[in-house]
Structure 1
Amino acid sequence: MKLIKSIAVFSLIGFLSACSHQDEKTIATVGEKQIQQEDFNAFLDLKRVNVKDEKQVNAYLKQYLDREALTTAIEESKVLEQKNIQAELNEFKKEMLIGRYFQTYLKDKVTDEGIRNYYANHAEQFQSKKVNVSHILIRTSKNMSEEERKVKYTRAHEAYSKLKSGASFESVVAEFSEDTVSAKKQGNIGWITEGAIDPVFSKKVFTEMKKDEISEPFQTSFGFHVVKLIEAPAVVTQPFEKVSGDIRHQLRKAAKDAELERLMTSVSIKRM
């Protein structure tokens, strides 16, 4: 079935030497539509075609005209609702324009120097207090009766008593702890960040204990803990290399938000 009514292609001889004043030249017709040189040039630029390669240019011209003809044939067939197609094209245009604009706008807005300056001037954002702890956990659940909870507390206190009597922390962990993950590491949880854990636990280890101290049993939402402070709280600064990507993203977002606000306030919106 022949979809193309007529395609008249003008010679591309001289294309390579075409100057800007020739951009309005008609290079082909597809049905009743004239194809302009400037439109085809824009297509070549989009596809990043080497315009010095005449063979490649001609191949892309054929593709361009064939698709133009196919589009024309489909439009004339009236199979598709034109208003729906137009609405979809309009939305695609909006998305493309917004995306391309900000891609271009943000390209040089955030520099390596700017990222380093932000890191240096906002050091507190990249600092956190950490502490290294080990614990023995006797688990509880919210559905436990008071009697069951007392049994759990008694067991936690038994573990604490053994420690006070001279038993090694590692041996008591092996005997009592119900945290199977930390139990494999002699009860060590590792370095934890202040505020990132249960508030009762956080307060205990960050403000109430000293290095090598062992706490009496205390309760959190997880159960009863007996904690040993392995290393006292210390302020840790994340290295620049680890956070530079996050800073870049943050600065680009700030620049985008500011430009978005500027653009939106430059055009009035009136709902009828």
Structure 2
Amino acid sequence: MRKLAGICLIGACLALAGCEEQDVVATVADKEITKPEVQAHLAFKRVPEGNEKLRERHVDRYLEREALAEAITREDALDDEMVRAELDEFRQELLISRYFEKYLDERITDQAVRNYYGNHIDEYTHRKAHVAHLLIRTNEAMSETERKAKLTTAQEAYSKIMAGEEFDEIVRTYSEDKLSREKGGDLGWIKEGSIDPVLSERAFALEPGEVSTPFETAFGFHVIKLLDAPKDVRQPFDAVKGKIRYQLRSQAKQKELERLRNAVTVQRES
């Protein structure tokens, strides 16, 4: 073990090897370093108990840094108040962070997350319908004459569908929605209420295979077809457990923050 100025090692090997119990492991200047302090440091550094050489090196390093800190303190080169302010800031952040990490891990368990999912299953069950549409776009800058011309185009497309022409072919000819046009207007399975409310209401009111009359939304004039009947779709637990955990942890943290704030009175002097 190397010698350090101002450090007197006292039974460090005994403390590391688990032999005779000693409260003081070393003395740095006039400061006694106790066995619990060293053990806490080793635990913090996650040094395995069975590796005595590694533990001894960590103790050496710990004592050396303690000696350097003492030497620097004696140099009086730093602003003590600023150092204390920074240490106090770190202490506050560490206490708050570690406390809530432990508090939330103990309370928001895997079982708590699963229980919430089971008790709020309706939140994760949605009605979906398989819909296709034809869109003739409009915008606010259009004149009334232009808007009526767009409506006429939509009505023309609808009439051809009603006359027996295939919906997807009419979509490819008329629709101005480039993303869905090449798929025959197929929008996939849409969740009720997740799209334009007018379109959603019309879609979920149709029967499978039925085509709507032209109607207007903020996007333009639509003609829609219900490809498959609406059905209830439940999100699996694995898909939502992360969101549930985050929600429960946020709620629990806020509640505990309020409790802790009310536990201590803060009075500022005028």
Would you call these one fold, judging by a TM-score over 0.5?
yes
Stretches of structure 1 that go unaligned for 5 or more consecutive residues are none
Say yes or no: does 1:168 pair with 2:169.
no
Q: Does 1:226 align with 2:223?
A: yes
Distance 1:22 1:145 in 2: 92
Counterpart for residue 14 of structure 2: 14
Comparing 51-60 and 212-221, the one that deviates more? 51-60
Matching residue within 243, 247, 256 for 2:244: 247
Counterpart of 2:101 (choices 89, 100, 103) is 103
| Contact 2:206–2:212 (Cα < 8 Å) also in 1 | yes
**Deviation of the 1:188 alpha carbon:** 0.4
Q: How far apart in 2 are the matches of 1:241 and 1:133?
A: 27
Once residues 76 and 114 of structure 1 are traced to their aligned partners in structure 2, the CA distance between those partners, rounded to angstroms, is: 53
The Cα of 1:46 is off from its aligned counterpart by 0.4
How far apart are residue 11 of structure 1 and its match?
A: 4.2
AA matched with 1:226: V
Task: Give 1:28's aligned amino acid.
Answer: T
Measure how far apart 1:50 and its partner are. 2.3
Residue pair 2:11, 2:22 contacting (<8 A) in 1 also:
no
Select which of 105, 119, 122 maps to 2:120.
122
* Aligned equivalents of 1:74, 1:222: Cα separation in 2: 70
Measured in 1, the distance between the counterparts of 2:174 and 2:70 equals 79
- Asked if 1:256 corresponds to 2:261, the answer is no
Q: How far did 1:77 drift? A: 4.2
Q: Identity of aligned pairs, percent?
A: 44
2:183 maps to 185
Q: Read off the aligned partner of 2:22 and give its amino acid letter.
A: Q
Cα RMSD after superposing both structures: 2.3
Q: Which residue of 2 aligns with 1:68?
A: 66
Q: Residues 73, 173 of structure 1: CA spacing in aligned structure 2 closer, same or farther, 3 A cutoff? A: farther
- Residue 141 of structure 1: CA displacement? 1.7
TM-superposed CA distance for 1:78, in Å, is: 4.2
Secondary structure of the equivalent of 1:141?
coil
What's 2:26 paired with? Answer: 27
TM-score (norm 2): 0.87
Alpha-carbon distance between aligned partners in 1 of 2:193 and 2:262, rounded to the nearest angstrom: 40
Looking at structure 2, the residues matched to 180 and 75 of structure 1 have their Cα atoms a distance apart, in angstroms, of: 71
- State the SS of the aligned residue for 1:28: strand
Q: How many residues align?
A: 265
With over 3 angstroms needed to count, the CA separation of the structure-2 counterparts of 1:57 and 1:152, relative to structure 1, is same
How far is 1:47 from its partner?
0.7
Report the AA paired with residue 166 of structure 2: S
The letter for the 2-side match of 1:243 is V
Give the superposition deviation at 1:145. Answer: 2.1
Letter in 2 for 1:9: L
Match of 1:265 in 2: 262
Q: Give 5+ residue unaligned stretches, structure 2.
A: none
The alpha-carbon deviation at position 192 of structure 1 amounts to: 1.0
- How far did 1:97 drift? 1.0
